[in-house]
Structure 1
Amino acid sequence: MSQEKRLAYPFKIRPLQGELQEQMKRDFEGTPSGLAACNHWGFKLMGKVTDDLLEDIYNYPLEERDVWIMTPPKSGTTWAQEMIWLLANDLDYEGAKTPLMPNRWLYPEAPAIVDKDGIRKFLPADPEKRTITTNSMAGNAHTGARRFVKSHLPLSMNNPRLLDVCKVVYVARNPKDVCVSYYNHNRLMATHGFTGNLELFMQHFMDGNIKLNPCIDHMIEAWNLRHHPNMCFIFYEDMKRDLKSQIRKVAKFLGKDYSEEQVNKLAEHLHIDNFKKNPYVNMEHFKLQGVMHKDRGNFIRKGKTGDWKNHFTPEMTEKFDKWLEQKLKGTDLKFVTELDQQD
């Protein structure tokens, strides 16, 4: 394979300043370095992120047989990862009996997210359980095997040739449920360590001042490229409404054809009641490593559309709706926030 010319990272890193940065450090104990805006619309990573690291990600080596998943956080990423991996690997359920990450999927931006200073106090005393696998998750070397790569970064921060070389499945989810799910995730993960309540988190979410956010700009960027032949754009809500149809859609995108019986079996494997019990996707090893709090729930939570209604007050809903309407001006991207029926 010919050596590609290394590209300069095209954006300036801009750490948050003053009292705003100090608030980020207080509200997110897992990120004592605060946050930095890292692209043209302010996508946030940890405050210590470097140009060299982002340039490495921007030049991540690509192979035609690689399969990527791109999503904002808490948009059904893990659910879709399991579906994609099984579809691409001829429904190898035995091969899926190993942790989704880092064994089966790579995560290039992991070193740009984890502020190691912030989680040292959570690490267990046993040094053998203290492994933080950011470098092994990144895995940017060519291995010879087909690679499966997860990214929460927007397209503008990944290799600009990505869509021209690799298959990319993009999953979008309605922002209300994303906000509630990400709130719980930021409390669960020591790498985030959020200390406040949902109302405060929602304000940070709307302001875009949370790691791996803002999410609306992220989705609009991908939505505008949804017709590219190497992109399969799906909605979390469509997976909840009719999982089998989305399985067939992604299978076709990956050049696979499965029988009705095989689709039914995969849908059963992915059903949320079974998925929550699957130890290979529920990231329990993170609790042993100190990356995830042991007493704040599990990585796979409810998996429901419309759960936001159980958490937003009427005042929060009104505020969020006005913000979302403003964010979506000028785009035809729309979201489903409730379903009459779901699995």
Structure 2
Amino acid sequence: MDQLRNNNFPLEIRDVEPKLAEHLMMYFTGEHTGFVQVGPKGYFLPNKYKQEASNIYNMEIRPTDIFVASYPRSGTTWTQELVWMVANDLDYAKSDAIPLTERYPFLEFSVFVHPVMKKRFSNENSDSERKLELLELVTAPGTELLAEMPSPRFVKTHLPLSLLPPTLLDTAKVVYVARDPRDVAVSFYHLNKSMRTQGYIGDFKMYWEFFIKDLHHWTPFFDHLKESWEKRHHPNLLFLFYEELSKDLPAAVGRVAKFLGKELSEKQIAQLCDHLSIDNFKNNKSVNYDVMRELGVLISGKDAFVRKGKAGGWRDYFDEDMAQQAERWMADNLRDTDFRFPHLEN
């Protein structure tokens, strides 16, 4: 098993055993080299992460940076737009004019674009210089894009805190959003089927098994959440729940405004909540990753990037055995922590 560790990146990076990697690549057809597990918790990422691990861990953090972090499909896009709008004094015109992908570089997305897939996308878009330029932009290493960006910078990441710069929380602000893992898995399953960089071709039951066995991107899920939960009292970290945004969006807007040192009137909050309402959000081209669909990274005709925005929709996908398995898995992972999802407290 190949291992990587150096002075610039203190955590061990281990290659996933070849037979297991081959099995996974049968189902996740966008990956062509294999996978790695990182650090003592074994965070699961594409093999290409080796190229960016040190660059990300050692990137320069600016005091004006705002990171929106989460496990995927936890309400990240929703939270990104909320945070950006509050930080930018409700600049609706700029929000409409500039896609979210340009306002928030996706820090580690380049490690998910295998060279085979990058070449495929380039060939498919070779008739348009504009599309080729867009492709270079969305697949460039996030650290390179961010180094050239003026402040204040807004950064999207699905990496856990332990893989991000150790100076992050003491220098910049981080908004972390969490969601019931059963809803996360359903939403991420659909995205993995529609994003060719993942290219998942199995059914949901098999996907769920990969997810809870920590054999899927950015897992283990609960370790990811716990790292931020343990820092929730840090003055530079705001911990949100998707369920809170769904249940009482005005209150969540208020928390974000307070965290960012902004004051909003009730009328401004109401207007922003209308902008962020799921029906308006689903029809907002600025946040729906249209550029990915245009480039063929997101398959046309598949689910929209922003789907139903429904809490508890997992019940439509889990049979009784899976539901009981999920209950046991969640209980086991939450046994030694005071972490609870809001709806589980009722």
1:306 maps to which of 305, 309, 312: 312
Q: Does 1:26 align with 2:26?
A: yes
Q: What is the DSSP-based 3-state SS (H/G/I as helix, E as strand, rest coil) of the residue aligned with 1:10?
A: strand
**1:125-159: per-residue Cα shift (whole Å, max 9, x none)?**
33123525221654231544210011100000000
Name 2:204's counterpart in structure 1.
Answer: 198
Contact 2:18 2:34 in 1 (8 A): no
Q: Deviations over 1:166-204 (max 9, x none)?
A: 011110111110011110110010010001000000000
- Return the offset for 1:268: 0.3
Superposition deviation, residue 295 in structure 1: 2.1
Matched, 1:252 2:258: yes
Please name the residue that 1:293 is paired with. Answer: 299
User: Residue in 1 aligned with 2:3?
Assistant: none
Superimposed CA distance per residue, residues 82-129 of structure 1 (whole angstroms, 9 cap, x where no aligned partner): 000000000000010134443111222122222232464466633123
Does the Cα contact within 8 Å between 1:124 and 1:289 map onto a contact in 2? no
Q: Structure 1 CA distance, aligned partners of 2:18 and 2:309? A: 38
Report the counterpart of residue 90 of structure 1 in structure 2. 89
Question: Equivalent residue for 2:139?
Answer: 134
Distance in 2 (CA, whole Å) between partners of 1:328 and 1:339 is 13
On the 8 A contact 1:61/1:140 being kept in 2, the answer is: no
Q: 1:15 to 1:76 in 2, by over 3 A?
A: same
Give yes or no for contact 1:28–1:193 (8 Å, CA) kept in 2. yes
TM-score, normalized by length of structure 1? Answer: 0.92
Instruction: Indicate whether 1:105 and 2:104 are aligned.
Output: yes
Structure-1 residue corresponding to 2:65: 66
Q: Shift of residue 75 of structure 1?
A: 0.4
| 1:159 aligns with one of 165, 180, 205 | 165
More helix by share: 2
Task: Give 2:194's match in structure 1, choosing from 161, 178, 188.
Answer: 188
* SS of corresponding position for 1:252: helix
For 1:333, which of 318, 339, 343 is the aligned residue?
A: 339
Paired residue for 1:207, among 199, 203, 213?
A: 213
- Output one character per residue of 1:267-300: Cα deviation in whole Å (capped at 9) or x when no partner: 0000000000000000111111121111211100
1:41 paired residue number: 41
Q: Unpaired runs of 5+ in structure 2? A: 1-5
Letter in 2 for 1:248: G
Q: Which residue of 1 aligns with 2:231?
A: 225
**Considering only aligned residues, what root-mean-square deviation do their CA atoms show, in Å?**
1.9
* TM-score, normalization by structure 2: 0.92
Q: 147, 156, 161: which one pairs with 2:153?
A: 147
- Residue 40 (structure 1) shift: 1.8
In 2, Cα distance between the equivalents of 1:26 and 1:337?
Answer: 36
Could you report, residue by residue, the CA deviation over 1:7-37 in whole angstroms, capped at 9, with x for unpaired residues?
6211111111132111111010011222211
Asked if the contact 1:66–1:147 (Cα under 8 Å) also holds between the matched residues in 2, the reply is: yes
Contact 1:108 1:149 in 2 (8 A): yes
Q: Which residue of 1 aligns with 2:14?
A: 14
Moved more, 316-325 or 123-132: 123-132
Q: Determine if contact 2:107/2:141 at 8 Å carries over to the other structure.
A: no
- 1:265-280 matched pairs, under 5 angstroms: 265-280=271-286
- The alignment covers a number of residue pairs equal to 334
Answer whether contact 1:69 1:170 (CA < 8 A) is retained.
yes
Q: Is the contact between residue 66 and residue 146 of structure 1 (CA under 8 Å) also seen in structure 2?
A: yes
Partners in 1 of 2:173 and 2:231 — Cα distance? 13
Instruction: Give distance in 2, aligned partners of 1:121 and 1:108.
Output: 22
Aligned partners of 1:99 and 1:312: how far apart in 2? 38
Secondary structure class of the residue paired with 1:68:
strand
Give the residue type in structure 2 aligned to 1:39: G
Q: Is the 8 A contact 2:146 2:153 kept in 1?
A: no
Structure-2 residue corresponding to 1:3? none
AA paired with 2:196?
A
Cα offsets for 1:47-102 (capped at 9, x unmatched): 2332x521000011111111111100000000000000000000000010134443
Q: Deviations over 1:210-265 (max 9, x none)?
A: 11222211001110110001011110000000000000000010000010000000
Asked if structure 2 preserves the Cα contact closer than 8 Å seen for 1:115 and 1:191, the reply is yes
Structure 1 residue runs of 5 or longer lacking an equivalent are: 1-5
Identity of aligned residues (%): 37
Distance 1:335 1:67 in 2: 24
Name the CA distance, whole Å, in 1 between partners of 2:122 and 2:299.
10
Q: After the TM superposition, which of the residue ranges 36-45 and 249-258 deviates more from structure 2?
A: 36-45
Distance in 1 (alpha carbons) for counterparts of 2:168 and 2:158: 14
- Residue 121 to residue 339, structure 1, CA distance change in 2 (3 Å): farther
The one-letter code sitting in structure 2 at the alignment partner of 1:246 is: A
